[in-house]
Structure 1
Amino acid sequence: MAINDDIEETARTCRANLNYLLPGPDINRRFVSAGVEVSTGTYGPFPTTIRDGRTIREHFSFDQHAFRLLEAPTSIDNFHDTTEVESHYQAEVCAHVKTALGADLVLSQGWMLRTSGAIPKSTNPDTTDEKKPYRHYGGLQPAAGEVHIDTEPSRQPAYAQKLYERARPDGPGFKRFIMTSFWRTFSPGPQDCPLAVCDARSVGGDEGTPNVLWVVDRIPEGEEMFEDMDDGGQLAAAVFRHNPEHRWWYFSSMTRDEALLFKFHDSDRSVGWRVPHSAFWDASFEDSNVRESIECRTIAFFE
């Protein structure tokens, strides 16, 4: 799709590698455990131009680009305090998303911390002879390093219906739903490994390969990763092969009172409805800082 927005050509640019899916096995799975994520697919770096939307932030819209940088003040003092985050943050995020999208109902789908720095070994206490099973929700993981979307389109309508009926068993029903990520970095800028998002207008409707998520206590090895498993009953993401038409953006030096809100899936496909994204190493600033961030997934309903 040809995109010709003159104001976008005024943006600062940088070059970085983005990791796209390469030819490989037919089975695509992502195994996640404490502090580590391993995929069966093979990913390779592609040098990419990434534009900095900082100076034109008001240009972006949910209907066209499917992402926006929001002013989103937070009351959280310490994002590493699980109790504080669990008690207050998800309600805070849902309020921001409801305002930004104009939705009738917003539900949180959990949160996750990520960092470009070192991740300490799991400190799950031994309650018996075994450690507690790993729970992905609320964990600390490395920065996501390949081009993906956290949802796979074919599975979302049934999932949305299930969530709505659980939240509003006597509700009037909904005519549209939007799944999003609310992404905030809380370490000082410039960050060394920020998040890049792809303009929805530059992504074809038929792009993306399902990548099934398995949250496990132990990462399988070798042929174990390809054994028969109930992939159809699992959540799945979409991973992407390189497309030179993809148009990438980020917002440099984000502050803790800003948030990048972008769509995983919009049931209205007449507008920008999904955003591939990936972390990348930004060498365009000197003296950059380790990136620490929190992402909160939500689903918004329009009744």
Structure 2
Amino acid sequence: MSMDTMSTVTVTVPLRYADPDQPAGIFYAGQHAASSASFRTVDTTITNARPIASEFSLDVHGFALVKHQTAVRDFADEDEVKRVYTAELEELVKGATGAVKVVVFHTMARFEDGEKRGERQPARAAHADYDGPSFEVWIRRAMGAEADEWLAGRWSEINVWRGIRPVERVPLAVTDARTVGLDEYMSVPIHERPDEPQPFVGLNLMHDPKQRWYYFPDMQPDEALLFRLWDTDPAVPFPVAHSAIDDPTSRPDAAPRASVEARTVAFFG
């Protein structure tokens, strides 16, 4: 089926966007409740992309759903994640992009109500993580002196998102990057907590009716959602705005969402 014939398979959910009439504020990644970033809620139509999953690609839309089996048994085990998952993602992103080198520079798990236990919670606002200079900070921290040589060429930031268990509720929605311009993002400082400043600038999306949103319900642990957040090639579609959403089709007794995401950078020589 084509996207046109499937266009009526949608949900409408309240989604938080940056408020262009208010100051940008500050977003605290490790303490959402303390953030002063300004948002407005807009009822947003999001297409169920599951029946047309094969039609999406990183090079056309900025995102793609792929099959990917991981050997990680416990994503709470940082040593296992570094030892097993890092190598898996390097090969996955190389295969998906054609990159000659991939570096995994940030992996985190998110859980519903996670903040109460000192864990990350789903990010419930339309955003695209960081701007280009902020990603360069992350990359330099991960690569050290080696970074200069690789950053001189083309590079692309690719996120890899998956459920630790089946995602029965609070899935991740993503935009078709072709329908969103960089001028539709509001820059906002991102700190870890009020007492932990960081040199990062995030991108919160402002609403525009032409933006097109998609999601893949019931993602399984052997599936991964890849999406591009930055690229030094302006001809490539980016960034992909994304947000956790409350899927109205989820069962009332669905298991709370548990997911893991990894930020990677793909280098093309």
Output the TM-score relative to the length of structure 1.
0.79
Matched, 1:178 2:178: no
TM-aligned CA distance change 1:26 to 1:299, over 3 Å: same
Q: In the alignment, is residue 265 of structure 1 matched against residue 262 of structure 2? A: no
| Partner residue of 2:15 out of 18, 23, 31 | 18
Q: Which runs of 5+ in 1 are unaligned?
A: 123-139, 221-228
Counterpart CA distance in 2 for 1:277 and 1:66 is 11
Give, in whole Å, the separation in 1 of the partners of 2:182 and 2:21: 22
Contact map agreement 1:199 1:248 (CA 8 A) in 2: yes
Equivalent residue number for residue 141 of structure 1: 120
Write the deviation string for residues 191-248 of structure 1: whole angstroms up to 9, x where unpaired.
Answer: 21010000011102322111111123xx46xxxxxxxx98xx7111100111111100
Q: Name the counterpart of 1:274.
A: 239
Following TM superposition, by how much is the alpha carbon of 1:149 offset from its aligned partner in structure 2, in angstroms? 0.6
Q: 1:168 to 1:215 in 2, by over 3 A?
A: closer
Equivalent residues of 1:20, 1:43 under 8 A apart: yes
- Alignment partner of 1:46 out of 35, 42, 45: 42
Q: Does the 8 A contact of 1:21 with 1:44 survive in 2?
A: yes
CA offset at residue 274 of structure 1? 1.1
Distance change in 2, residues 1:241/1:263 (3 Å): same
Offset at residue 28 of structure 1 (A): 2.6
Aligned to 1:288: 254
Corresponding residue for 1:197?
Answer: 174
Pair 1:57–1:151, CA change in 2 (3 A): same
SS at match of 2:173: strand
Contact 2:172 2:243 in 1 (8 A): yes
Distance 1:267 1:277, change over 3 A: same
Deviations 1:77-114 (A, max 9, x none): 12223332233212221221111111011111111111
CA distance in 2, matches of 1:201, 1:256: 28
Distance 1:211 1:192, change over 3 A: same
CA contact (8 A) 2:114 2:120 kept: no
Give 1:42-121 correspondences, 5 Å limit.
Answer: 42-121=38-117
* Matching residue's letter, 1:50: I
SS of the residue aligned with 2:182? coil
| Higher Rg | 1
Provide the rounded CA distance (Å) in 2 between the counterparts of 1:246 and 1:181.
20
Contact 1:90 1:110 in 2 (8 A): no
CA contact (8 A) 1:117 1:291 kept: no
SS in 2 for 1:75: coil
> What is the aligned residue count?
267
In the TM superposition, what is the alpha-carbon distance from 1:272 to its structure 2 partner?
A: 0.8
Between the aligned partners of 1:108 and 1:70, the Cα distance in structure 2 is: 18
Q: Distance between the aligned counterparts of 1:172 and 1:154, measured in 2? A: 15
Deviations, residues 146-180 of structure 1 (Å, cap 9, x unaligned):
010111145556876786673367x5875311012
Task: Give the distance between the partners of 1:72 and 1:168, measured in 2 at CA.
Answer: 28
What is the CA distance between 1:7 and its match in structure 2? 2.7
Which letter maps to 1:30?
F
Relative to structure 1, is the Cα distance of residues 194 and 25 closer, same or farther in structure 2, using a 3 angstrom cutoff?
A: same
- The separation in 1 between residues aligned to 2:206 and 2:114, in whole angstroms, is 29
In the TM superposition, what are the counterparts of 1:237-256 in structure 2 within 5 Å? 237-256=202-221
Question: Which whole-Å deviations, capped at 9, do the CAs of 1:23-45 have from their partners, x for residues lacking one?
Answer: 45535311233x64532122122
CA distance in structure 2 between the partners assigned to 1:31 and 1:247 by the alignment: 27
Contact 1:174–1:301, Cα closer than 8 Å, also in 2 = no
